Amino acid sequence: MSEARRYQQLRAHLSYLKLGDAAEALPRILDAARAENLSLTAALERLLEIEVNATEARRLTSRLRFACLPEPWTMADFDFAAQPGVDAKLINDLASLRFLDDAANVLFVGPPGVGKTMLAVALARGAVEAGHRVYFTTAADLAARCHKAALEGRWHTCMRFFAGPKLLVIDELGYLPLPGDGASALFQVINQRYLKSSTILTTNVGIADWATAFGDATVAAAMLDRLLHRATVVGIDGPSYRLRNHQATAETMRKAVAAHVS
């Protein structure tokens, strides 16, 4: 068999095995093997590394698409110096994702604008990049989706969906009133995940006020019992991130106007 035919057949084999990135990189790797005097093993490892990296990139894109994260925030985006109400050591420990191994939960509790959602999304992004299946939703959207599923006879399918991800992020609990059966639906989701998978929950409602906020002391107590059994509660009581940004923008505009006038 001629070298040209062997080369074409090798590319055909790679394409048949759906190793498209390796097939595309083959000419470049062969050139490098000749120029750098690579061994057969080294050249093959370099070729397959390209395919592995491309495959992982596609899988990461797929996991991010499924996760529905509202922003591309990572832990590096959070300014601990500007938010003294956050325990940096505790957050960095959570960023190790050890809590996922224990099916433990994380609750971020504090007033609006202090960075609860940013931290939740950053942890979720880290979990996605580590290869875990993650899903983000707001409490209001979760309740509405469960309510619709119940009306359409898809309740069990809906529960399986929310039970599936390794990490479920439920944002903005307490910001909007839940529909009549919203608290019950939220409890059912948390109960499905109990001791099996982790949940991150952000809320502006203090734990002691859950019974009043949800209008059902029994459901609130049962929900908290499961959430807090294995949980890290992060209370944040500091300046508003959003207000700080607005103030910085206003100050920049004020200086620009003053400079223009002068």
Determine the 3-state secondary structure of 153 from DSSP. Answer: coil
Q: Is the pLDDT of residue 261 over 80?
A: no
CATH (one of 3.75.10.10, 2.170.190.11, 3.40.50.300, 3.30.750.210) for 75-243: 3.40.50.300
- Rounded to an integer, what distance in angstroms lies between the CA atom of residue 89 and that of residue 47? 41
Q: Which residues contact 101 (CB under 8 A, 6 or more apart)?
A: none
Banded pLDDT at 158 (limits 50, 70, 90): very high
* Mean pLDDT, the chain, whole residue set: 90
> Hey, which residues does 235 pair with through a beta bridge?
109
Least confident among 29-33, 133-137, 138-142, 256-260: 256-260
CA atoms 120, 125, 126, 130: torsion sign? positive
Question: How high is the pLDDT of residue 215?
Answer: 78
Q: Return the ∠ at Cα 216 (arms to 213 and 222), rounded to 5°.
A: 100
Question: How high is the pLDDT of residue 250?
Answer: 42
> Average pLDDT of 95-122?
96
Q: How far is CA 12 from CA 7, 15, 21, 24, 31, in A?
A: 9, 5, 13, 11, 19
> Average pLDDT of 89-106?
97
Q: How far is CA 78 from CA 74, 151, 191, in A?
A: 7, 41, 31
Pairing type for strands 167-173 and 134-138 reads parallel
CATH 3.40.50.300 residue ranges for the chain: 75-243
Question: How high is the pLDDT of residue 31?
Answer: 95
Question: How high is the pLDDT of residue 1?
Answer: 65
Location of structure tokens 């809590």? 99
Q: Is the pLDDT of residue 72 over 90?
A: yes
